[in-house]
């Protein structure tokens, strides 16, 4: 059984190797894709894909194309999200955002190409040889569904349209279920699909993902008011300044902490249908609920 660091090394190597290798006229584009893809994020989504695959008793290497794909989708969404016509952020994880380095045209296109690459690697002959075409189809379909108009992108639209409107709790919840939890669901479900899980296990993985995804967002809101900007690596209190609804503004901080605890418990309970070692996934859920940044 591998530890988190081994998993992360596998992911970093697979990500860099999945970019086009060699000399191409579109070098700037590939550099731009690499700049954002190899940026040192926490890799939570691809980790979840590998961890669920291992939990199901399969070789995690089979899940690598799917782990890389979900990270590529996440990365493209961050590149587009930082653009001036969206959130207009000059920095991402302490580094200049993609369009500040490569220009808005290349940033748009490298986001687009990362989405294509996600599907290309999941459906490659190599991936399908180890996973079987019907499971490759099911995994890639899962990622497409959760990424699109009624998934991650839909959540971004709900976010844009809620700005300055003090959105009610149900809108905030739907937004986060789509904007954040959907891609985490895709990551967990794909790990199970590659791991030959049955439907009950896939539903359980989806429940785990849903719960840690929402807990993650609520923690974000809590940290925005309780943390220092040094701990957080970004300005604190930015949400209330923008008259943006948050879980804290709608429910108060104590109720929010209770919610994080109960969602984390839900996530852990959902894992009971698996007979393998669920300890790493339990720890991950607890870590996310106790994080300081």
Q: Name the one residue in this structure whose structure tokens are 């209190």.
A: 237
Tell me the closest approach of the beta carbon of residue 89 to its own copies, in angstroms. Answer: 13
Q: Name the one residue in this structure whose structure tokens are 């993609």.
A: 98
250 touching its own copies, by CB under 8 A:
no
Q: Which of 145, 196, 257, 291 binds its own copies (CB under 8 A)?
A: 145
Cβ count within 10 A of residue 167: 20
Q: What's the rounded Cα separation, in Å, for the pair 6 and 46?
A: 13
Choice between 20 and 276, CB closer to its own copies: 20
161 touching its own copies, by CB under 8 A:
yes
Q: What's the rounded Cα separation, in Å, for the pair 159 and 141?
A: 25
Q: Which residues, other chains included, contact 202 with Cβ-Cβ below 8 Å and sequence gap of 6+?
A: 189, 192, 193
Map residues 101-140 to x or -, x wherever contact with its own copies holds by CB under 8 A. --xxxx-xxxxxx-xxx-xx--xxx--x----xx-xxx-x
28 touching its own copies, by CB under 8 A:
yes
For residue 39, give both structure tokens: 């940026």
Tell me the closest approach of the beta carbon of residue 63 to its own copies, in angstroms. Answer: 17
With beta carbons less than 8 A apart as the criterion, state whether 181 and 41 touch: no
Cβ count within 10 A of residue 217: 22
Count of residues binding its own copies (CB under 8 A)? 56
Residues in contact with its own copies by the rule CB under 8 A: 20, 24-26, 28-30, 33, 76-77, 80, 83, 85-86, 103-106, 108-113, 115-117, 119-120, 123-125, 128, 133-134, 136-138, 140-141, 144-145, 147-151, 153-154, 156-158, 160-161, 171, 174
């Amino acid at each position: 059984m591998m530890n988190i660091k081994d998993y992360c090394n596998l992911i970093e190597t697979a990500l860099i190797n999945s970019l086009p290798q060699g000399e191409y006229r579109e070098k700037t584009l590939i550099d731009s894709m690499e700049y954002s893809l190899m940026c040192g994020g926490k890799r939570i989504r691809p980790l979840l894909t590998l961890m669920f695959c291992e939990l199901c008793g399969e070789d995690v290497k089979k899940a690598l194309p799917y782990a890389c794909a979900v990270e590529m989708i996440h990365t493209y969404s961050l590149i587009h999200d930082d653009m001036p016509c969206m959130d207009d952020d000059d920095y991402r994880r302490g580094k200049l955002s993609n369009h500040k380095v490569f220009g808005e045209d290349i940033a748009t296109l490298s986001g687009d190409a990362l989405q294509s690459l996600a599907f290309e690697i999941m459906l490659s002959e190599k991936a399908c040889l180890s996973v079987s075409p019907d499971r490759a189809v099911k995994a890639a379909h899962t990622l497409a569904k959760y990424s699109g108009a009624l998934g991650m992108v839909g959540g971004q639209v709900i976010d844009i349209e809620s700005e300055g409107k003090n959105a009610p709790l149900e809108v905030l919840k739907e937004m986060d279920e789509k904007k954040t939890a959907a891609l985490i669901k895709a990551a967990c479900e794909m790990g199970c699909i590659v791991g030959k899980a049955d439907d009950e296990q896939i539903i359980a993985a989806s429940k785990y993902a849903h719960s840690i995804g929402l807990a993650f967002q609520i923690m974000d809101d809590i940290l925005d008011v309780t943390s220092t900007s040094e701990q957080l690596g970004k300005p604190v209190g930015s949400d209330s300044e923008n008259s943006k609804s948050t879980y804290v503004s709608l429910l108060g901080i104590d109720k929010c902490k209770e919610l994080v605890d109960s969602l984390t418990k839900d996530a852990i309970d959902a894992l009971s249908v698996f007979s393998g070692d669920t300890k790493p996934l339990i720890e991950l859920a607890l870590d996310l609920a106790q994080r300081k940044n």
